[in-house]
Structure 1
Amino acid sequence: MPSPLLLLGAGRQAAYGEFPLARIAAVHPVVLVGAAPPAWALPLLAGHLVADPDREADTAGVVARFAARQRVAGVLTWSREHLVTAARVAGQLGLPGLPYETALACADPAALRTLLARHGVPPAGRDDLEGPLVAAEAVVHDEDVHIVAITRTTPGPPPARQPLRHIVYAHDGLLHNPFLRQAVERTGRALGLTHGVLHVELRVTPRGPRVIGAAPCLPGDLIPLLVERATGVDLARAAAAVATGGVPDVSLTRQRAAAIQFAYPAATGRLTHLALAPAAAQEPSAERMVLSRQPGGLVRAASHADASDRLAHWVVVGADPGECEGGLRGLAVHLSATVSPPSRTFAA
């Protein structure tokens, strides 16, 4: 077998994990490091190492024994909770990766804020609650931070404020904002990131872009799919390239927009009905529409929901954000759901 890429955790849901895994597996054999692989991942894997990435020392030992008999091309994770273990494993194998101390800081929000502040990254404060919520999707190679896309997010109702929608547009004006670029570059330097992908969340305020958080790994919520459909830049393959010592391709080959919408329950209770009308497949802008819950379980209303409460999501592609928003609305009418009041108290 050619030298494999080790992936720490694939995620539980095919809806979000299958796209990046398929993109990477097409160019590298992938060996999953984790518990039993999910069924959807099996056709995409070249192998499996039984280890719990949450147990750092144990996982490092399992990988060391594997690497003693098989050369490893790189180490990758798109799970924030596995960043520390991935950094340790990459470091012990002498492979590109996140500095271990930085990975520790990324696992602690307070430590991350302190680290960013020390490097002059403008943080979001208590008064920075208004303005667009965005994220810069960047690829870092030889310390050069290249912003490939801007993700604009529409949050849901408080207090949960779960994402309702993400939109990526190849011609987003913020791509040319020097203050946003400076904030992202400073974030990359603060993290000591020389090779990797970087997801920086910001609030665009009257005082300029302010950093809310950062993650040196692939973003979730199918944002890599949106970036690829809108710009042609494949974040998953770029992440694999830099993890294996290669040069990432960040060439802009598309000039479109792509968006994803998430459906949450209108009320808290038991989901008794969830269906998607067949006519949804006929919508011209539809990329995909996927149900993510089964009737019978308890769900929480959007104001108290988390990602596990999502009923469905759908993706559209268009010439610009306005066309995408119209496509999202057009697909929404094909979804029907019924939530009945729970027969017992539901913990929010």
Structure 2
Amino acid sequence: MNESNGVLLVIGSGLKIYREYLVASIHRRARAAGLRLVLLNNLKPTWQRAYFDEIVLTNVFDPGEMLAAAREVAARHRIVGLMCWDEPVVLAAGELAAELGVPGLGVDGVRGCRDKNRTRSVLTAEGLVQPGFALTASLAEAREAARRIGYPVVLKPRSMGASIGVVFAADESELDAAFGVAMGAATVDQSRYRAGALVEAYASGPEISVDAAVHKGEYLPMFLARKQTGGHPYFEEVGHVVDADDPLLHDAELVDVLARAHRALGVEDGITHSEVRLTDRGPLIIEVNGRLGGDLIPFLGRTATGIDPGEVLFDVATGNRPTVAMSKHAVAGIRFGYPDRDCLVHTVTVPDEAPGLVAASPMITSGTTLRLPPGGYLARHSFVVCAADDTRTCAEHLDTAAALVRLDAEPVDPPAPGAAFEMPAGLLDVDEEEGVPA
């Protein structure tokens, strides 16, 4: 391979179960373009070996270590593009792209996406529909903010993702506990925005997400997912459905709001995952994430629309305007399996066959303890993905497939009061050969 063609640098591979299909597409496009793939990863490589020409072990969650490793790679290779889809690493990776002079979200763009307080401030100044909000660092500040904003409110860590630590407070009697939950979750965040919790006016209405490419500031929607949540007063994401023919994809107001938001935030090049509430005041952006969606939403998008998010990401990362035209018109959905209460899992069995079944998998190993909020989040033991020609049939397929999942587990007591918050089981990849984090 001609080294002069350059190297595409990837910061963090993510979980095999969630991201291998993206890496496979990127690998295919890189080979066709004569580019080498170099991965910076915090774990010993297993499945990644099939796709990357070089793998550098470093703590990607420590910005100093990650940047030092990336600069060492840049001293040996000509970096022509950079990719990152792991939320805790997006900020440092975006700033690194600017340092290396390759396409990226831009410094303003990545900071605006990662810092929820900055997102709210910028979008409010732009005149977009936004909730009343305040960044708080103490319970007294949170109480005062909630009184000023008006109940009900939502409290959330300043920069966490996946709805971790996000909690609803209907009135003053629920505020203190909600603030404790939000701040407790914020303690595991290692970014510069870890301090503080946002207090926001609750926005009612259906919630959606939109994954889109951004090329030189041009906003290019790919697919839209309808989100299903549960576990009130928390916001656990229990499923998503992508319909290639969802009329909201062509809703002029929604697309305009999203495009204006990205311009205001300063997003330059990349892929974003925007979460939006459809309120009686119009579309209200909950957050803009500077990465592809999680929860296999990009996989649902590819299954339903034929748009390959890995190929789109390759294009924007290498400075090319991507093609986002649909080649399929179907519906795809995912349903996550949650326990009824905290438990120690013995086994999880998922179906091999079911109507419309595309994929199914356990998400944890035997011996894993799953904890529901507020002791833990994303306590998922499995998922099923189904596809159909219409949303009703897809929902029926998901119901059938989910009913075939079998969980053998025993209840466990909740964590002791004041116990340190731990990241959810299954969010951190493991070395497949040893079964433990490397």
Q: In 1, Cα distance between the equivalents of 2:310 and 2:208?
A: 20
Among 260, 269, 279, which residue is 2:334 paired with? 260
Whether 1:229 and 2:303 are equivalent positions in the alignment is yes
Q: What whole-Å deviation, never above 9, does each CA across 1:125-170 have from its counterpart, x for those lacking one?
A: 5565432110111111232211121110000122332111100001
1:51 equivalent in structure 2:
58
Q: In 2, Cα distance between the equivalents of 1:133 and 1:90?
A: 31
Q: What whole-Å deviation, never above 9, does each CA across 1:246-283 have from its counterpart, x for those lacking one?
A: 2212111111111111001111122234223xxx3232
Identity %: 28
2:16 equivalent in structure 1:
14
Q: Which amino acid aligns with 2:54?
A: G
2:409 equivalent in structure 1:
339
Q: Which amino acid aligns with 2:9?
A: L
Whether 1:4 and 2:74 are equivalent positions in the alignment is no
Q: Name stretches of at least 5 consecutive residues in structure 1 with no aligned partner.
A: none
Q: In 2, Cα distance between the equivalents of 1:310 and 1:106?
A: 26
Q: Secondary structure at the match of 1:53?
A: coil
Whether 1:120 and 2:120 are equivalent positions in the alignment is no
What's the CA shift for 1:195?
Answer: 1.7
Q: In 1, Cα distance between the equivalents of 2:414 and 2:57?
A: 39
Among 319, 322, 329, which residue is 2:389 paired with? 319
Q: Which amino acid aligns with 2:8?
A: L
Q: Secondary structure at the match of 2:110?
A: helix
Q: Does the Cα contact within 8 Å between 2:10 and 2:39 map onto a contact in 1?
A: yes
Q: Secondary structure at the match of 1:219?
A: coil
Structure 1 residues 317 and 302 mapped into 2: Cα distance closer, same or farther (>3 Å)? farther
Among 33, 46, 54, which residue is 2:40 paired with? 33
Structure 1 residues 104 and 335 mapped into 2: Cα distance closer, same or farther (>3 Å)? same
Q: Which amino acid aligns with 2:410?
A: S
Q: Secondary structure at the match of 1:27?
A: helix
Q: Secondary structure at the match of 1:282?
A: coil
Q: Secondary structure at the match of 1:16?
A: helix
Whether 1:96 and 2:103 are equivalent positions in the alignment is yes
1:282 equivalent in structure 2:
353
What's the CA shift for 1:60?
Answer: 2.8
Q: Name stretches of at least 5 consecutive residues in structure 2 with no aligned partner.
A: 31-35, 133-152, 154-200, 422-438
Q: In 1, Cα distance between the equivalents of 2:234 and 2:103?
A: 36
Structure 1 residues 345 and 221 mapped into 2: Cα distance closer, same or farther (>3 Å)? closer
2:49 equivalent in structure 1:
42
Q: In 2, Cα distance between the equivalents of 1:223 and 1:94?
A: 30
Q: Secondary structure at the match of 1:281?
A: coil
Among 73, 76, 79, which residue is 2:80 paired with? 73
Q: Secondary structure at the match of 2:76?
A: coil
1:247 equivalent in structure 2:
321
What's the CA shift for 1:326?
Answer: 0.9
Q: Does the Cα contact within 8 Å between 1:96 and 1:195 map onto a contact in 2?
A: yes
Q: Which amino acid aligns with 2:355?
A: P
What's the CA shift for 1:45?
Answer: 1.6
Q: In 1, Cα distance between the equivalents of 2:400 and 2:279?
A: 31
Q: Does the Cα contact within 8 Å between 2:348 and 2:382 map onto a contact in 1?
A: no
Structure 1 residues 344 and 102 mapped into 2: Cα distance closer, same or farther (>3 Å)? closer
Q: In 2, Cα distance between the equivalents of 1:60 and 1:303?
A: 34
What's the CA shift for 1:180?
Answer: 0.9
Structure 1 residues 56 and 325 mapped into 2: Cα distance closer, same or farther (>3 Å)? same
Stretches of 4+ aligned residues off by more than 4 angstroms: 124-128, 302-305, 343-348
Q: In 1, Cα distance between the equivalents of 2:236 and 2:282?
A: 24
Q: What whole-Å deviation, never above 9, does each CA across 1:305-344 have from its counterpart, x for those lacking one?
A: 522x210001111111111111101111211113323268
Q: Does the Cα contact within 8 Å between 1:158 and 1:303 map onto a contact in 2?
A: no
Q: Secondary structure at the match of 2:111?
A: helix
1:329 equivalent in structure 2:
399
Q: Which amino acid aligns with 2:17?
A: A
Q: In 2, Cα distance between the equivalents of 1:206 and 1:109?
A: 23
Structure 1 residues 116 and 343 mapped into 2: Cα distance closer, same or farther (>3 Å)? closer
2:116 equivalent in structure 1:
109
Q: In 2, Cα distance between the equivalents of 1:330 and 1:315?
A: 11
Q: Does the Cα contact within 8 Å between 1:265 and 1:302 map onto a contact in 2?
A: no
1:187 equivalent in structure 2:
261
Q: Does the Cα contact within 8 Å between 1:188 and 1:198 map onto a contact in 2?
A: no
Q: Secondary structure at the match of 1:315?
A: strand
Q: Secondary structure at the match of 1:329?
A: helix
Structure 1 residues 162 and 38 mapped into 2: Cα distance closer, same or farther (>3 Å)? farther
1:130 equivalent in structure 2:
204
Among 12, 15, 24, which residue is 2:26 paired with? 24
Q: Which amino acid aligns with 2:47?
A: W
Q: In 1, Cα distance between the equivalents of 2:337 and 2:85?
A: 24
Q: Does the Cα contact within 8 Å between 2:375 and 2:415 map onto a contact in 1?
A: no
1:204 equivalent in structure 2:
278
Q: Does the Cα contact within 8 Å between 1:286 and 1:315 map onto a contact in 2?
A: yes
Q: What whole-Å deviation, never above 9, does each CA across 1:216-245 have from its counterpart, x for those lacking one?
A: 211111111111111111122211211111
Give RMSD over aligned pairs: 2.1
Structure 1 residues 65 and 296 mapped into 2: Cα distance closer, same or farther (>3 Å)? closer
